[in-house]
Structure formats: C-alpha cells, structure tokens
Amino acid sequence: KTSKAIQAAECAYNTRVSGTQTFAVFTTDHQYDSSHGAPYGTCEAYTCASGTTFSTNADTWTFFWATAGVTGNSTGPGTGCIRSPDDGTCGCENSDGTFVYGGTDCK
C-alpha cells in the first residue's frame, strides 16, 4: 500500500496494510521540509519478504517489522515520535487521522 504526504515516523510505526506487514520504504518529499513533523514523504508498505540487496539513497529509508526477521538501527529519521502537523508536539495518530497530543497508544 502506498501512502503519500505522511511523516517518516508514521511510516515507521503505523502498519499500513491489512495482514502482516514486514517492511516499509519511505521516500522524502522535500516540498514539506519546512512543515512541523518533517520529514514528510511517500510510504510504501509491504507484506512480502524484503530483498537482500539495497541501494543507497539519502532520501529513502527502509523500516523493518520484527516479522521480517531483520534487526537494524533504532535511531535516525523516522524513529522519533509522530508529531502534530500544527505545532510539532509529540503524540500519536488514530487510524481515522485524529492526532492525540501526548498519546502513545493510538488505534
């Protein structure tokens, strides 16, 4: 599933598919660089096994779920909190798009 104009943290933390998500690829869209919660971009979520060879691109990150059997870095872009698009405050976002200030257990 592809989702556009979302935060890297949303791509990293929120499953975007029905079924078992294995990994997601986030590509930065620089038109949103000055927005609260940046970086924003396109998230492509997958339920299949990932490949074993990856190319380097400073604007693209891959987030793996435990179901993929891959362990990677736990710091960097997209690994912080999901931020309010209005003021940058940490929280979480429910599946209906409602932002919950300070929330950590959104559904």
Please calculate the CA angle 72-74-79 and round it to the nearest 5 degrees.
125
Radius of gyration of the chain (CA): 13
Q: Rounded distance, CA 103 to CA 63, Å? A: 22
Domain edges within the chain? 2-78
In tens, the pLDDT along 14-57 reads 778 888 888 999 999 999 999 998 999 999 999 988 877 778 88
For every residue of 17-45, DSSP letters joined together read SSS---EEEEEE-GGGTTSTT--EEEEEE
Q: Rounded distance, CA 102 to CA 105, Å? A: 10
In tens, the pLDDT along 54-88 reads 788 889 998 888 776 766 667 777 888 899 989 99
Give the per-residue pLDDT at 94: 86
- Whole-structure pTM over 0.85, yes or no? no
